[in-house]
Structure 1
Amino acid sequence: MSDAALRVMVVDDHPMWREGVARDLSEEGFDVVATADGCASAAARAAAVRPDVVLMDMQMPDGSGAEATAAVLAAHPGAHVLVLSASDERDDVLEAIKAGATGYLVKSAQRSELVAAVRATGDGQAVFTPGLAGLVLGEYRRIARSPEPDAPTLTQRETEVLRHVAKGLSSRQIATRLSISPRTVENHVGAALRKLQLGNRVELARYAIEHGLDQE
């Protein structure tokens, strides 16, 4: 997705910071379609303007960033939420990811890091400040050690596809590795989404990581 087509919304309760980030992203060629200062306004504006990427603070006057993330994704499921927070506390990071955020960046990041993170988030990649990715993966693997009862059964091929999704490969790359067509890959991805009752490829990758498939 090109920067010009990437629609971004900035959510932060500090006006100067919010407008500064919005200005920086606009200068870099992103289309900043809205800003918001809280959970309720973020959800309402996400529904109205349908951004591709939402930059989300973790502290809001009417709730947490995790609550705002969940509200935004309920209002516009197609959005990708990238947390931009002063906090790198374990609980904040995990709550944000559990609420549906695809990445987490601390506010001390350089402008170039932020721009690259927004771009990657728009492409559906998971982006983390160095050190936080390991924390998140470690937590998912800890959870995965306790098997879920009545877990859906995937076919061998669906599991193979899921393993490559967990490693961040595109449908075309997966198709090449498995010697099948990209359409067949998408069919397997769709079947896995239905069986696991997940909404999109990011959630599917998260499920695969939780179950250690990226290590196989």
Structure 2
Amino acid sequence: MSEQAVTVMVVDDHPIWRDAVARDLADDGFDVVATADGVAAAKRRAAVVTPAVVVMDMRLSDGDGAQATTEVLAVSPGSRILVLSASDERDDVLEAVKAGATGYLVKSASRQELADAVRATAQGRAVFTPGLAGLVLGEYRRIARDTTGPAVPRLTERETEILRHVAKGLTAKQIAARLSLSHRTVENHVQATFRKLQVGNRVELARYAIEHGFDE
């Protein structure tokens, strides 16, 4: 196995499906470092293995995928969440994205589509089953229309500097190298910015930065 293999954790409450997905991903060159059947197990294992990508179901043994996404990102903020769910219901998709998921595929996706989506997710790209991306963007536009221009939260000089780099598409590691900071310090600043701007993930953060001119 390549040293560069992307580490993956598969979270699903159906053991046969979970094992099949894990096996397919391993056969496609990914390093499947853990599996879990629910929110508690996902959080516990993510804290130990800090996977690059978590393939997350929305229906779990002790909760849902949105809750598990929040819990996993709390203990492994560098992980990216790709939902793989039987549901393409609007509310499920939006809940997952608001919790911090980077992408959302339905389980009818082919093995090749899943492998491609995991690779793209690891690279920080947002991947959605056709039709769902438009739904998510439409919701953001609706929220933007309904917002009556609240004051822009005050960011520190360092947070603003990091936000500019996020807007230009740099990863946390690239930002850390450019600013001579540790990866953890950059992640801490990004998480603080998430809270101040009330955004759920890097996709929303980058969108906010671009909309407010931080990419110039």
**Superposition TM-score, scaled by structure 2 size:** 0.77
Within a 5 Å distance, the mapping from 1:1-216 to structure 2 comes to 4-145=4-145, 146-152=147-153, 165=167, 170-171=169-170, 183=178, 197-198=193-194, 203-209=201-207, 213=211
Q: 1:110 to 1:61 in 2, by over 3 A?
A: same
Runs of 5+ consecutive residues of structure 1 not aligned to the other structure: 173-181
Letter in 1 for 2:52: D
Q: Is the 8 A contact 1:6 1:30 kept in 2?
A: yes
Q: Is the 8 A contact 2:10 2:55 kept in 1?
A: yes
> Matched residues in 2 for 1:138 and 1:40: separation?
32
When the two chains are superposed, the root-mean-square deviation of aligned CA atoms in Å is: 3.2
Q: How many residues align?
A: 192
Q: Is the 8 A contact 1:38 1:62 kept in 2?
A: yes
Q: 1:131 to 1:153 in 2, by over 3 A?
A: same
Q: 1:3 to 1:143 in 2, by over 3 A?
A: farther
Q: Which SS does the other structure have where 2:194 is aligned?
A: coil
Letter in 2 for 1:206: E
> Matched residues in 2 for 1:162 and 1:131: separation?
30
Q: Which SS does the other structure have where 1:77 is aligned?
A: coil
Q: Is the 8 A contact 1:8 1:52 kept in 2?
A: yes
Q: 1:139 to 1:163 in 2, by over 3 A?
A: farther
Spell out, residue by residue over 1:107-154, the C-alpha distance to the aligned partner (whole angstroms, 9 max, x if none): 000111000000000111111001100110111121122045221368
Q: Is the 8 A contact 2:126 2:203 kept in 1?
A: no
> Matched residues in 2 for 1:44 and 1:25: separation?
22
Q: Which SS does the other structure have where 2:46 is aligned?
A: helix
> Matched residues in 1 for 2:46 and 2:191: separation?
28
Q: Identity over aligned residues, as a percent?
A: 58
Q: 1:78 to 1:163 in 2, by over 3 A?
A: closer
Q: Is the 8 A contact 1:144 1:211 kept in 2?
A: no
Q: 1:127 to 1:20 in 2, by over 3 A?
A: same
Q: Is the 8 A contact 1:140 1:209 kept in 2?
A: no
Q: 1:204 to 1:76 in 2, by over 3 A?
A: closer
